[in-house]
Structure 1
Amino acid sequence: MAFATIHSFSKALRKASSFNVVFPEDEETPRPWSVFYLLHGLSDDHSIWMRRTSIERYVAGLPLVVVMPDGGRGWYTNAVEGAAYEDDVLEVVGLIDRTFPVKAERAGRAIGGLSMGGYGAVKIGVKHHDRFASVTSHSGAVGFVHGLGEGRERSPEFSRIFGEDPSNGDEDPFALVERIDHGILPKLRLDCGTDDFLLDQNRAFHEHLNALRIPHEYEEFPGGHDWAYWDAHVREAVDFHARNLGLR
């Protein structure tokens, strides 16, 4: 696999931004390639997946590009007051579509992430279901906007980004899955560690999906909110996406 860091001007953020890309370098790898957009958590940046996991090794041999955007501390959301990080992810999608030999359609795209990025992947993947075929979340902060957990305490930017009462709005995954035709939702997979402080949120979202009869995969594994857990289980996300994108 080859690796690149791309620097570009983000219209959504109104500033220069960067993202990392892993892509096939073997000339025998069939084209067009599919794309897996992989989002980081609250305290990290676009470099963290390459520094803390073996994601490059896990996708080796697949006709798959992995794109790792920089979401800052913006919750992959167009802030009420501040930057438009959701639009930035969609800008990156457009840039990849124009620049790399990829399948520039829903059937060729997947999105996933951890913690804040797990929330972002579920929110963006469901809201923009016409662009992504499958979604994965590790230890996702899927319930903060719904009023579960201590979102404002853990993220002082929370109110500025989401407003004072975002529950049941357009940034709340619980509300989004209720309002969208279930037949057009992307394939969903969520996992969480049994010692993770976000476990209750993930169980609640899993139960919500079950109550709505939305097909999805959900698993719990030993582990906490840490890189040992995410490095182990991003491999299952790669397998999940590879099946849904028709790569295996």
Structure 2
Amino acid sequence: MAFFDCHFHSDALGVAATMNVILPQPSTSQIGMAAQKHGAKHPTLLLLHGLSDDHSIWMRRTSIERYASKHGIAVVMPAVNRSFYTDMAYGPKYWTFISEELPAIARSFFPLAEERELNYVAGLSMGGYGALKLALTHPDRYAAAASLSGVVDIANRMQAFPQDAMLIFGEGAEVRGTASDLFHLAEQVVRSSQPSPQLYQICGTEDFLYEDNVRFRDYLRSIGLEAKYEEEPGQHEWGFWDRHIQNVLEWLPLPNRA
């Protein structure tokens, strides 16, 4: 695999932005690394960070480079600060950045596939919310989305972060039933004629977000939206996410698994 620490200007944010990118590099001489390549342009996983982290965290806390290598998949890991992947009421337009600008910029820099069938998104905690938000808002762009310990009920959870909620959504803003609400977005996908992305939801039973995840799982089932759901003993911590990002990579509908 090749690793890039990429710094670039974002028109959407109006400032310099950052992302880590790992790309497949087939080799017969890398010690201890399996490698494969699918074609001229790489299947791509957009991998999102949580509330207190940045673009570097997946590389620092997991072996994502080694895990991705055997699957022949590119991984793009951007930084969005504490934005909840949203155009902030009092801050930069991080939703525009992550949903529109970043994919175009990354593809202009690197040989990344554009087809829906070769694009996936995953994340942990706040990033799990961002992953599901992207895939449910744009089911025409993403074939699969995975949430690890995700903030799936943002209207409920943001009560614990009043300052962030005010900066992101505005004073007294109602989130439920809007384009920021995953329950609402899931219902919109069911009502549309577009194919649903494959969904994967995992949460530890001791995680403070566990009850929210169970409620979201049950809601998806009630509206007929299929999702793979897993739970096991675990808390909101990197040992759990390091194990389960490997499961996510095994689950992704890559071309050689058709």
Q: Where on the TM-score scale, by shorter chain, does this alignment land: which range? A: over 0.9
1:159-170 matches, within 5 Å, as 159-163=166-170, 164-170=173-179
Residue 105 (structure 2) aligned to one of 91, 95, 101: 95
Aligned to 2:161: 154
Q: 1:4 to 1:39 in 2, by over 3 A?
A: same
Give the TM-score of the pair, scaled to structure 2: 0.90
CA distance in structure 2 between the partners assigned to 1:88 and 1:247 by the alignment: 31
Partner residue in 1 for 2:33? none
Distance in 2, matches of 1:86 and 1:111, equals: 14
Task: State the SS of the aligned residue for 1:112.
Answer: strand
Residue 236 of structure 1 is matched in structure 2 by 247
Paired AA for residue 233 in structure 1: H
The structure with the larger Rg is 2
Alpha-carbon separation, structure 2, partners of 1:153 and 1:191:
22
Structure 1 gap segments, 5+ residues each: none
Task: Identify the residue that residue 123 of structure 2 maps to in structure 1.
Answer: 113
Of 47, 54, 60, the residue aligned with 1:51 is 60
What's the C-alpha RMSD, in Å, of the aligned pairs? 1.5
Cα drift, residue 107 of structure 1: 1.2
| Change over 3 Å in CA distance of 1:182–1:207 after alignment to 2 | farther
Alignment partner, residue 31 of structure 2: none
Residue identity in the other structure for 1:228: G
Residues paired across the two proteins, number: 243
Instruction: Report the Cα distance in structure 2 between the residues aligned to 1:154 and 1:161, rounded to whole angstroms.
Output: 11
Report SS of the residue matched to 1:43. coil
Unaligned runs of 5+ in 2: 28-35
Q: 1:174 aligns with which of 165, 183, 188?
A: 183
CA distance in 2, matches of 1:45, 1:211: 35
What is the aligned partner in structure 1 of residue 150 from structure 2?
Answer: 140
What CA distance in whole angstroms lies between the structure 2 residues aligned with 1:19 and 1:134?
21
Divergent runs of 4+, >6 A: none
The share of aligned pairs that are identical, in percent, is 39
Query: What is the TM-score of this pair, normalised by structure 1?
Result: 0.93
Moved more, 153-162 or 102-111: 153-162
Indicate how the Cα distance of structure 1 residues 82 and 165 shifts in structure 2: closer, same or farther if over 3 A, else same. Answer: same
